[in-house]
Structure 1
Amino acid sequence: MSDNPGPDSDPVRLTAWVHGRVQGVGFRWWTRARALELGLVGSATNHADGRVLIVAEGRRADCDNLLALLDRGRSPGHVDTVVAQWGPARGDLTGFVER
């Protein structure tokens, strides 16, 4: 057994732009619920161009799961595409909020 926790234990930051019909359909609420179930912190924010910006921090595996849920097509509305970026967690988020 190793004392080294491995790369999956280091928190990451997922920034995902969700394109499609994702405003006014409960998408942010649904995303918040899924993120909280996965133990993530962050936000889901509507933008004027119709996209929703998701920022989530936590374990890489949990962020990967959220990304898969966003892109799987079982969310409210209709997701055309998700553009994701990864980076190190900043640690400046608490809870998961809808904006």
Structure 2
Amino acid sequence: MPAARFFVSGRVQGVYFRASTREQARALGLQGSARNLDDGRVEVIASGPAEALETLAQWLADGPPAARVDQVLREEWSAAVGEGFSVG
């Protein structure tokens, strides 16, 4: 399965971003995780069908209503991704 890591910057912490990402990822059948980084960004790692990853990438560009996304960086991910979708 393809996998990707996303770094999302803007007003993305304290606005329900990680939990909303988990809801979107689960609805798309993706595995992975979302966590806050010390620099204010959110890191999202996701694995699943390429179309679902692209849909998640598009959603991350907007995020939940209270968020303000300034930038989404995407890179390929080759490490194992666990079962389910966790928030850390």
TM-score (norm 2): 0.91
Equivalent residue, structure 2, for 1:65: 55
Equivalent residue, structure 1, for 2:4: 14
Deviations 1:27-55 (A, max 9, x none): 00000000000000000010110000000
Look at both structures and tell me which one has the larger radius of gyration over its CA atoms. Answer: 1
Rounded Cα–Cα distance in structure 2 between residues aligned with 1:56 and 1:24: 21
Runs ≥4 residues deviating over 3 A: none
Equivalent residue, structure 2, for 1:94: 83
Secondary structure of 1:48's counterpart equals coil
Distance 1:80 1:57, change over 3 A: same
In structure 2, the gaps of 5 or more residues are none
Equivalent residue, structure 2, for 1:28: 18
Distance 1:92 1:55, change over 3 A: closer
Q: Are the equivalent residues in 1 in contact too, given 2:32–2:81 (CA < 8 A)?
A: no
Equivalent residue, structure 2, for 1:48: 38
Percent sequence identity is: 37
TM-score (norm 1): 0.82
Q: Are the equivalent residues in 1 in contact too, given 2:32–2:86 (CA < 8 A)?
A: yes
In the alignment of these two chains, the number of paired residues is: 87
